[in-house]
Amino acid sequence: SQQGEEDPQALSIQEGENATMNCSYKTSINNLQWYRQNSGRGLVHLILIRSNEREKHSGRLRVTLDTSKKSSSLLITASRAADTASYFCATLKSSGSARQLTFGSGTQLTVLP
């Protein structure tokens, strides 16, 4: 079953605007990762934030993590039409030997030119 929920399920914005997607999860984590998936393609890793980090930047991406609320957000600034894709958060558990990622249900982002 999925780890948690992503919000919103779908988001449509104009090119140049910022897009914010949220992710909630249920268990204690080692790290949280965001992936992008274009239609019919595999997932591409965007950014990883560790459980002891609160904010991380990579180019036009900004990720925040609030472990007390078990939530994360992904901000894409100055969006482009090429950013149109599904975005998934994924968590790695902090306990046990599990190495698999647990994904959210995703946000479908559409950036209109």
Partner 1 sequence: GAGVSQSPRYKVAKRGQDVALRCDPISGHVSLFWYQQALGQGPEFLTYFQNEAQLDKSGLPSDRFFAERPEGSVSTLKIQRTQQEDSAVYLCASSLARSSTMSYEQYFGPGTRLTVT
Which residues, listed in sequence order, are joined to residue 64 by a DSSP beta bridge? 55, 73
Question: Which of 25, 72, 79, 88 contacts partner 1 by CB under 8 A?
Answer: 88
Segment interacting with partner 1, rule: CB under 8 A, options 12-20, 35-43, 66-74, 76-84: 35-43
Separate counts of helices (H) and strands (E) for the chain: 0, 11
Our CB check for partner 1 shows the closer of 40 and 113 to be 40
- Give the residue from 29, 42, 39 showing the smallest Cα distance to 3: 29
- Residue numbers at the binding site for partner 1 (CB under 8 A): 1-2, 30-31, 33, 35, 40-45, 48, 50, 88, 90, 92, 97-106
